[in-house]
């Protein structure tokens, strides 16, 4: 006979537990974002003091942030612009976050982004006059394969020689920049062009699904986040990836192959970062210059950390960063605050994330839940060859 609950016992325990779990997930990202906003406000006020003869305005931070929000979500066009800016950050955040789950710090997302875009433009130009139903999938596939190859190399080096992925991926970033410049200035250059630029990808360009410039990549980014979540938490390989990230020796003792998982994980991360570059190339620029590139690869690290490497939370984290980029122009026009303030805000978010163990103690939030990922230990663990998961 099963014992029944005692009369008067609290029936809300499961809901309280659910609330505690929800708070443990959102507490640190929420507090980190608020602190970065407050620090940004202080920087604005301090900058006012440095301008001789300028009247001090206590309302400047409010005006600046109002313009920033209005530029990000103040209308249909602003929202679409935020979605476009956020799309590569979703792919890039997934590329970095998936690596974190396996105990790998994929700091090479920038190089994988560039090589993925390079593969996509080569295929896109070659298929520029082919039917879109053929050109688009093949160009996307080329970007995925190119990024995957760029991720495979540091993964293979780590598995075979023990080379730390942070060092090797940084080196691969520099190689990617020079490879891009060499190809765009050489065989891919439009003849007699005044500056190095490739041909347009033509029919391989993503179709517009949201006016005025919301392209197909937005939908692909959402599908990618869902797929990565399913892969991590609903498949055997995802369980092995998380097991290797939690304890490599224990995973090996259980019959898993950490070296093979390392190579496969870095390859998959490279493919996701390659998709980020592909989405920008096929959805926004349609051509490449020899200096093609953005800060997406490095912003993706902050996105993954803010989302605690949860594939589904990466989407709103990317929207936050994308919204900052989308609203920066209006902030500069209306409040005369340079767009570089967005870089400051994102940098302070990363700074506070590094200090998140302290914040967790202050907030009395446990860090041993199922979604725990890299925090401040990420940085400190680089010297020991691992990443805290």
pLDDT at 375: 40
**What average pLDDT does range 144-154 have in this prediction?**
97
Query: pLDDT tens digits for 29-65?
Result: 888 889 999 999 999 888 877 777 777 788 889 999 9
- Residues 128, 202: contact at Cβ < 8 Å? yes
Share of the chain above pLDDT 90, in %: 68
304-335 pLDDT, tens per residue? Answer: 999 989 999 999 999 999 999 999 999 999 98
155 contacts: CB under 8 Å, gap ≥ 6:
104, 165, 262, 263, 264, 265, 266, 267, 270
Which residues are within 8 A (CB) of 364 and not within 5 positions of it... i.e. 6 or more apart?
none
Cα separation, 373 vs 304, whole angstroms = 9
Q: What's the rounded Cα separation, in Å, for the pair 370 and 25? A: 10
**Prediction pTM value:** 0.88
Going 256 to 379 to 224 to 270, the CA torsion angle's sign is negative
Percent helix, strand and coil across the chain, each to the nearest 5 = 70, 0, 25
Residue 135 is encoded by which pair of tokens? 């050109």
- Return the domain boundaries, the chain: 27-384
CATH number of 27-384: 1.10.3470
Tokens 């490739």 belong to residue: 198
Model confidence at 118, in pLDDT bands (50, 70, 90)? very high
Please report the pLDDT score of residue 381 as a whole number. Answer: 40
Cα dihedral 175, 111, 171, 196 sign = positive
Is residue 313 within 8 Å of residue 152, measured between CB atoms?
no
| CA 260 to mean position of chain CA atoms | 24
């Amino acid at each position: 006979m099963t014992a029944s609950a005692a009369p008067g016992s609290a029936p809300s325990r499961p809901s309280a537990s659910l609330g505690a779990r929800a708070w443990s997930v959102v507490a640190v990202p929420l507090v980190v974002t608020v602190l970065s906003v407050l620090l940004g406000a202080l920087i604005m006020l301090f900058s006012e003091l440095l301008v001789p003869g300028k009247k001090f305005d206590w309302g400047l931070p409010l005006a600046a942030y109002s313009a920033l929000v209005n530029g990000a979500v103040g209308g249909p066009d602003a929202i679409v612009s935020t979605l476009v800016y956020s799309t590569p950050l979703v792919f890039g955040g997934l590329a970095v976050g998936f690596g974190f789950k396996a105990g790998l710090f994929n700091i090479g997302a920038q190089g994988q982004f560039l090589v993925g875009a390079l593969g996509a433009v080569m295929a896109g130009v070659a298929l520029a006059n082919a039917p879109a139903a053929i050109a688009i999938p093949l160009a996307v596939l080329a970007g995925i394969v190119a990024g995957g190859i760029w991720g495979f190399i540091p993964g293979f080096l780590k598995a075979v020689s023990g080379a730390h992925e942070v060092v090797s991926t940084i080196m691969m970033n520099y190689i990617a920049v020079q490879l891009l410049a060499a190809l765009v200035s050489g065989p891919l250059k439009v003849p007699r062009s005044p500056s190095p630029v490739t041909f347009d990808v033509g029919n391989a360009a993503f179709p517009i699904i949201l006016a005025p410039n919301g392209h197909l990549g937005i939908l692909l980014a959402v599908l990618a986040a869902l797929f990565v979540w399913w892969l991590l938490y609903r498949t055997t390989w995802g369980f092995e990836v998380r097991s290797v990230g939690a304890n490599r020796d224990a995973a090996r003792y259980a019959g898993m192959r950490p070296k093979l998982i390392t190579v496969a994980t870095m390859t998959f991360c490279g493919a996701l970062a390659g998709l980020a570059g592909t989405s920008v190339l096929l959805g926004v620029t349609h051509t490449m210059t020899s200096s093609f590139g953005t800060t997406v690869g490095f912003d993706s690290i902050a996105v993954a950390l803010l989302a605690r490497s949860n594939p589904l939370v990466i989407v709103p984290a990317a929207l936050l960063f994308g919204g900052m980029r989308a609203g920066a122009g209006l902030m500069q026009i209306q409040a005369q605050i340079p767009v570089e303030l967005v870089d400051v805000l994102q940098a302070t978010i990363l700074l506070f994330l590094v200090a998140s163990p302290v914040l967790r103690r202050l907030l009395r939030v446990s860090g041993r839940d199922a979604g725990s990922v890299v925090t401040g230990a990420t940085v400190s663990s680089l010297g020991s060859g691992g990443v805290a998961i």
